[in-house]
Amino acid sequence: GEALPFRDGAFDTVVSTLVFATILEPGAAARELRRVLKPNGRLHFFEHFRSRHPLLARLQDAVTPMWKRFLGGCEPNRDIVRIFRDAGFEILETTKLRGTFLLNGIARPV
């Protein structure tokens, strides 16, 4: 499972770096991050993201099976913004790392 061994609202800040492309249940993990954050806490993340450009998204989908097999289960085509929003986060800011499918961002629980 993705359960964290901490009480509800234990942290002011949680950091996630290149984790959500490899975990089995990203939605459950995102909900756990929200659970352990204080109501005014912040999630700082640096993660793979799914391109909004249809051609690039299809390219990501095409390479993901090979990427997953050879790079420890990594699925770089996951929609990290949707995963965090569905888990109850508001995305405050994002910055794409130019020339990559990597996204730096800050979110807060809502």
Q: Which residue range(s) make up the domain with 70?
A: 11-109
Query: CATH number, domain at 23?
Result: 3.40.50.150
Q: What pTM did the predictor assign?
A: 0.90
pLDDT in tens, 15-27: 999 999 999 999 9
Query: Average pLDDT of 37-64?
Result: 95
Cβ neighbours, 10 Å, residue 39: 8
Whether 92 is covered by a domain: the verdict is yes
What is the sign of the dihedral through the CA atoms of 50, 39, 19 and 25? negative
- Residue 84's pLDDT band, with cuts at 50, 70 and 90, is very high
pLDDT confidence of residue 99? 86
pLDDT beyond 80 at 2 = no
The number of folded domains in the chain is: 1
**What value does the CA radius of gyration of the chain take, rounded to a whole number of Å?**
14
CA pair distance 17, 8, nearest whole angstrom: 21
